[in-house]
């Protein structure tokens, strides 16, 4: 959706361009015939411009969409030729008694001549669209840099408490061993989860196997609360030698265990992770619990949408389905 500011700029530019041409024409005293052909040509060129600017280039000027882009441009040229023929060769003849091209003009000459006249308004919207996208990219990059600086400051401020908690958990684990193996095991798993969240890499990517281990530890820790009636199926395939953004998958599992039913053997929580040809598919489905929920605001899922947009722009697809009984999320990533 174009902003009011962008629309205003377009209107001003067209008024200046058309005012220049028609102002000169009025001064020179053009005939009705000349004016009619100028008006029809400009009208059709405007239509051609905005078909390319609003539809063809935004939709198809992307990687791996060259055939669609060429088809869109050919379609736009066909619209230009068709409209020009309809207005100048049919309607003008009916309304004013004249038409543009001489009698006997062949179809091939008419088409080739109009392809020539249409090319300028195929190139012009490409230039305008490209310049706009360049400015937008620059604004996005500047905003991302600002967010990175804020995130780094926030991360540095948050390091004190997590490290303190991690070290404290290790101490609590040593105290829990003589008291209860189950309690000690729970503290140990919680400590492992904390250690994983503190680990960082220069590019923010981690081994997919490590990410899976984190998910398994989280599920195992959750299981202690509900066992022996705890039913979660977790399957993986092709995860070796792959890397992924750290903690990108946990919100889906957390959401399923927190808001789903985990004690129904007939409808367990299902977690499926599969990687094939650098394409990751992660499916999490659960029976919806209709028990009273807490009052959390779903920050985790909001954050995951934001992280996916920043880390995997145009390289991910997130599908959510909810039929009232089952909630299913499917994440597709190009690694």
Quote the CA–CA distance of 155 and 162 in Å, as a whole number: 10
- Residue 184: inside a domain: no
* CA dist., res. 188 & res. 172, Å (int): 9
Question: Quick check: is 170 in a domain?
Answer: no
**What span, in angstroms and rounded, lies between the C-alpha atoms of 224 and 220?**
7
Whether the Cβ atoms of residue 220 and residue 192 lie closer than 8 Å to each other: no
Instruction: Tell me the β-bridge partners of 334.
Output: 279
* Three-class DSSP labels, 231-252: CEEEEEECCCCCEEECCCCHHH
Dihedral angle, C-alpha 28, 32, 33, 34, nearest 10 °: 30
CA nearest neighbour of 320 among 307, 303, 293, 301: 301
CB neighbours of 130 closer than 8 A, spacing ≥ 6? none
Among candidate residues 107, 130, 153, the one where a domain is terminated: 130
- The per-residue pLDDT for range 263-299, each reduced to its tens digit, is 888 999 999 999 998 899 999 999 988 775 554 444 4
DSSP for 174-206, written as a single string? HHHTTT-HHHHHHHHHHHHHHHHHH---TTSEE
Q: Report the number of secondary-structure helices (H) and strands (E) in the chain.
A: 11, 7
Band the pLDDT of 80: cuts 50, 70, 90.
very high
CA torsion angle 143 145 150 151 (round to 10): 110
The reported pLDDT for the residue numbered 251 is: 87
d(CA 79, CA 109): 17
Encoded tokens for 31 = 């005939």
Render pLDDT for 219-267 as a digit per residue (tens, 0 to 9): 888 887 787 888 999 999 999 889 998 888 988 998 898 888 998 889 9
Q: Would you say residue 136 lies in a domain?
A: no
CA distance 212 to 220: 12
Is residue 188 included in any domain, yes or no?
no
Could you say which of 97, 130, 163 is where a domain stops?
A: 130
Measured N-to-C along each axis, helices 32-51 and 4-28 cross at an angle, to the nearest 10 degrees, of 160
pLDDT value for 271: 95
Whole-angstrom distance, CA of residue 203 vs CA of residue 312: 13
Burial class of residue 272 in the structure, from the number of CB atoms within 10 Å of its CB (0-12 exposed, 13-18 middle, 19+ buried): middle
CATH number (domain holding residue 239): 3.30.565.10
Considering its fold, how many domains does the chain have in total?
2
- Where do the DSSP E strands lie in 12-130? none
Report residue 136 as tokens: 């937008």
Q: Does residue 183 lie in a domain region?
A: no
Domain that holds residue 77: 31-130
CB atoms under 10 Å from CB of 160, counted, come to 9
Does residue 5 fall inside a structural domain?
no
Q: Both tokens of residue 162?
A: 């997590």
Q: How far apart are CA 270 and CA 267, in angstroms?
A: 9
Residue 321's SS3 state is strand
In a domain, 193, yes or no: no
Q: Which of 130, 164, 188 is the last residue of a domain?
A: 130
Question: What Rg value do the Cα atoms of the chain yield, rounded?
Answer: 31
Is there a domain that residue 35 lies in? yes
- The model's pLDDT over 169-214, given as tens digits with 9 standing for 90+, comes to 665 666 666 766 767 677 777 766 766 766 656 567 888 998 998 8
Tell me if the pTM is above 0.95.
Answer: no
CB-CB contact of 273 with 235 (8 Å): yes
What does the pLDDT look like over 118-160, one tens digit per residue? 998 899 888 888 888 888 888 888 887 777 766 665 555 555 4
18 confidence band (pLDDT: 50, 70, 90)? low
């Amino acid at each position: 959706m174009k902003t009011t500011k962008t629309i205003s700029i377009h209107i001003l530019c067209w008024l200046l361009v058309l005012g220049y041409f028609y102002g000169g024409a009025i001064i020179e005293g053009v005939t009705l015939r000349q004016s009619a052909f100028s008006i029809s040509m400009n009208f059709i060129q405007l239509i051609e411009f905005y078909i390319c600017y609003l539809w063809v280039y935004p939709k198809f000027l992307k990687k791996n969409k060259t055939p669609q882009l060429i088809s869109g441009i050919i379609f736009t040229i066909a619209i230009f030729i068709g409209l020009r023929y309809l207005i100048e060769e049919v309607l003008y003849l009916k309304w004013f008694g004249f038409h543009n091209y001489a009698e006997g003009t062949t179809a091939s000459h008419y088409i080739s001549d109009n392809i020539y006249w249409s090319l300028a308004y195929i190139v012009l919207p490409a230039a305008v669209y490209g310049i706009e996208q360049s400015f937008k990219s620059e604004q996005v990059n500047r905003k991302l840099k600002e967010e990175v600086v804020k995130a780094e400051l926030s991360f540095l401020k948050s390091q004190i408490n997590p490290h303190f908690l991690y070290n404290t958990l290790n101490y609590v684990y040593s105290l829990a061993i003589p008291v209860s193996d189950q309690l000690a095991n729970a503290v140990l798993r919680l400590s492992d989860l904390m250690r994983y969240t503190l680990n960082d890499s220069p590019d923010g990517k981690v081994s997919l196997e490590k990410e899976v281990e984190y998910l398994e530890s989280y599920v195992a820790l959750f299981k202690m609360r509900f066992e022996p009636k705890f039913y979660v199926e977790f399957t993986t395939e092709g995860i070796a030698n792959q890397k992924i953004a750290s903690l990108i998958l946990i919100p889906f599992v957390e959401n399923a265990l927190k808001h789903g039913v985990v004690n129904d053997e007939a409808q367990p929580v299902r977690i499926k992770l599969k990687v094939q040809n650098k394409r990751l598919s992660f499916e999490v489905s659960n029976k919806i619990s209709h028990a009273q929920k807490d009052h959390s605001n779903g920050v985790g899922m909001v954050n995951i949408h934001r992280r996916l947009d920043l880390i995997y722009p145009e390289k991910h697809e997130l599908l959510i389905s909810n039929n009232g009984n089952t909630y299913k999320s499917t994440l597709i990533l190009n690694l």
